[in-house]
Every structure is written in C-alpha cells, then in structure tokens.
Amino acid sequence: MAEHFSDILMANLSVGVLVLDDKLCVQYANASAERFFEQSRNQLMGHAIHKLFVQSSLETQRLRDALQNHLDFSDGEVQLTFVDGRHLLAEVTVTSLVHQNHPCLLVEFKQIDNLRRISQENQLWAQQQAARDLVRGLAHEIKNPLGGLRGAAQLLERQLDDPEQKEFTGLIIEQADRLRNLVDRLLGPNKPPNLQWHNVHKVLEKILTLLSLDCGNNIEFVRDYDPSIPDLYIDDEKIQQAVLNIARNAVQAMEGRGRIRFITRVERQVTIHGKRHPLCAQIKIIDNGPGIPDRLKDTLFYPMVTGKKDGTGLGLSIAQQLVDHHRGKIEVESWPGHTEFTLFLPIDKKEAKQ
C-alpha cells in the first residue's frame, strides 16, 4: 500500500524527477520528467544525463562532485538546450543518496515560469537604468569642467609664441576633444523621439542595405516578415539605430561569415515593464555566431560592458535606451551557435493618436 501510494505521488509531482546512477545514467524518471524532456521513460532509461542536452549550464563535474563528495546543490537558473533544439530555463536541485549501498543522485527539474521571468526582467531593467543614470550623471559632471579646461588651453595658446609650447596646448585641446567625444557618447541619445507612422519593414530594409554595404558576401541575410504588421508609431531613425547596433554586433561576432535572420511577427498580450499591451510588434535578429560569452550575460545591457578589445560597450545600452523611449523592451537568448535578440514594440491604434 505504502509503495503504491508513493508511486502515485511521484507520478503526480509537478517537478521532473530523475535518479542517476554512479555513471550519471538515468535509472528512474517520473511522469513530469517525461514531459520535461519530451521523451518516454523507456527512451530516458540508461541514457547518460549529458547526452540529453546539446548544451547545458549544468556541468557534469558538479554532478560528479555531488555524487562523490555529497556536495548537494540547487541552481535557480540552469540553461538547457535539448537535442530537438528546445531551449529553456530551469531550476535544478541535486541531492546525493545511497540506495542499496550504491551512491546515486536525485535530480529535480522545474521549468521557470513566465511570472518569475517577468519579475527578474523588471529587476534587471531597474538595475540597468540605475547604471545608465550613474554613467550619465558622471558624464555630465565631467563635461562642464572639461569645457573650461579646453577654453583655458585655447586662451593660453594665443599668448604663446614658442611653437614647441604651442604643441602642448594643442595636445590639451586634442585630448579634451577626445574626452568630450566619449562623454557625449556616454550621455546617449538625448533628443525626444520624433514619432510618426512607419512601416517597420521599410525601416528594416534600410538597415539591410546599410549592413550589406558594411560586410562582404559571406554573411547571408534572411528575411522572414509578417506582412500583416500594421504601421508603427515610432521614430524610424531611432529604431534603425537600435536594430543596427544589435545587427552589427552579430556581424562582428561572426567574424564576417554566417547567417543573420530578420523575423517580424505580431504578438498578443505582452507585458512590458509591468504594463500589458494587447498587441506588439516583434522584431527578431538571430545569428548563428559563437553566442554571447557567459561572463557578459548578466550585465550585457550595462554601459561600457564589452567583450571586444576595442569595444565601447555602448551599443546595447544605447539600443535599450532607444527602445525604452518607445515603451518597448529587448530580450536576449544566446547559446553557442544561436543568439537571438527580440525587440518588442507596442502597436498603437491609429485613431488613438490622431
């Protein structure tokens, strides 16, 4: 009776449960695990855990440590890509057990639901905004004295006769200009958007023309447009800048060879920073490059975060600011071989704006 009841419990648990043997092969899977992996118990049985994924942030070494040294753990944000291309975020808890004198692992999988993602998203967004404000504030503080410094060097230059001394004042002016340039870029876009009705595909076509001028023939651009998207009330130049910043990163990441897909869709009931929009346009920019380095993932949209030797780290921060001006949002998913940026822009009713 007791055994029977525990079977019923296991079959009805909402978390996926696997038991792995000392070779990290599946010995048991409950019904939720079958749904999670989209494989039957028979298919799962005997499979080495790492063979169930093409890519996972759950390291085999961590599982071995758990097995051998009883280092149980729980990881709230495990990225998993399955053999069939599915990609999801899961909470994984690993507990070491001994059953009939054999060490084994109890592994629980729980897919992270949308709600959790949204709240994380809001928190992240608030942090990114705070970082941006900090950098902007600092940039402002630098800008004023810098103007004074440059002006003083100019005055001094006029008083000097010796060309050798003039070289020094020239140097001050040149370096001040360089700093000013940087500070201006840190301050980001400051003009309010000039909103008009635009066809999003026209904006994308312009970007594609610019991009194909930039790069050779070894990058293939694929268009997958939904022609039913109504006109959007946007500043076309700003959206163009945002998409270009994202697409140029893709081109750079692929080092001149690969495929970039531009996909447009209409999405219903999208929550953006706590507000629900009945209708949104989605613009996806997907590349098959190496993926975003793990160490950058958490701070990707912060200003001055870059993975490049000569990068400024401003491209994505500016793209996000521009999309924020349109009450939209940017989402990213990335693993080796696939990087997907999605822009969400609310679709307004034309009557409401006239």
Ligand X SMILES: Nc1ncnc2c1ncn2[C@@H]1O[C@H](COP(=O)(O)OP(=O)(O)O)[C@@H](O)[C@H]1O
Which residue ranges make up the site for ligand X (CB under 6 A)?
245, 249-250, 253, 287, 289, 291-293, 296, 300, 305-308, 311-317, 339
Q: DSSP alpha helices (H): ranges in the chain? A: 2-12, 31-37, 41-44, 60-69, 114-159, 163-187, 200-214, 236-253, 294-297, 315-324, 350-353
Do 109 and 92 contact (CB within 8 A), yes or no? Answer: yes
Which stretch, 143-151, 283-291, 312-320, 341-349, contacts Mg ion (CB under 5 A)? 312-320
Q: How far is the CB of 332 from ligand X (least distance, A)?
A: 8
Q: How far is the CB of 6 from ligand X (least distance, A)?
A: 47
Distance in angstroms (rounded) separating the CA atoms of residues 92 and 94 = 7
142 binds, among ligand X, Mg ion, none (CB under 5 to 8 A by kind): none
Residues whose CB is less than 8 angstroms from the CB of residue 129 and which lie 6 or more positions away in sequence, other chains included = none
Query: Cβ closer to Mg ion: 96 or 334?
Result: 334
Does residue number 321 form part of the binding site for Mg ion (CB under 5 A)? no
Query: Cβ closer to ligand X: 96 or 282?
Result: 282
253 binds, among Mg ion, ligand X, none (CB under 5 to 8 A by kind): ligand X
Phi, psi (rounded to 5 degrees) for 26: -70, 125
Taking alpha carbons only, the member of 178, 137, 135, 189 closest to residue 304 is 135
296 binds, among Mg ion, ligand X, none (CB under 5 to 8 A by kind): ligand X
Alpha carbon distances (Å) from 63 to 32, 79, 237: 21, 15, 50
Q: How far is the CB of 212 from ligand X (least distance, A)?
A: 17
Query: Cβ closer to Mg ion: 94 or 323?
Result: 323
Query: Cβ closer to ligand X: 195 or 332?
Result: 332
| Of the residues 32, 79, 249, 320, which one makes contact with Mg ion according to CB under 5 A | 249
346 binds, among Mg ion, ligand X, none (CB under 5 to 8 A by kind): none
Strand, helix or coil for residue 73? strand
The kind and range of the H/E element at 82 are strand 73-82
Distance in angstroms (rounded) separating the CA atoms of residues 280 and 278 = 7
| Of the residues 289, 315, 328, 346, which one makes contact with Mg ion according to CB under 5 A | 315
Q: How far is the CB of 27 from ligand X (least distance, A)?
A: 38
Query: Which structure tokens are listed for 54?
Result: 């093409």
Which stretch, 54-62, 206-214, 246-254, 328-336, contacts Mg ion (CB under 5 A)? 246-254
Q: How far is the CB of 81 from Mg ion (least distance, A)?
A: 25
Do 183 and 142 contact (CB within 8 A), yes or no? Answer: yes
CA torsion through residues 96, 98, 102, 107, sign: negative
Does residue number 289 form part of the binding site for Mg ion (CB under 5 A)? no
Query: Cβ closer to ligand X: 175 or 306?
Result: 306
Alpha carbon distances (Å) from 345 to 89, 118, 178, 239: 24, 17, 35, 10
Q: How far is the CB of 26 from ligand X (least distance, A)?
A: 33
Q: How far is the CB of 315 from ligand X (least distance, A)?
A: 2
Binding site for Mg ion (CB under 5 A): 249, 315
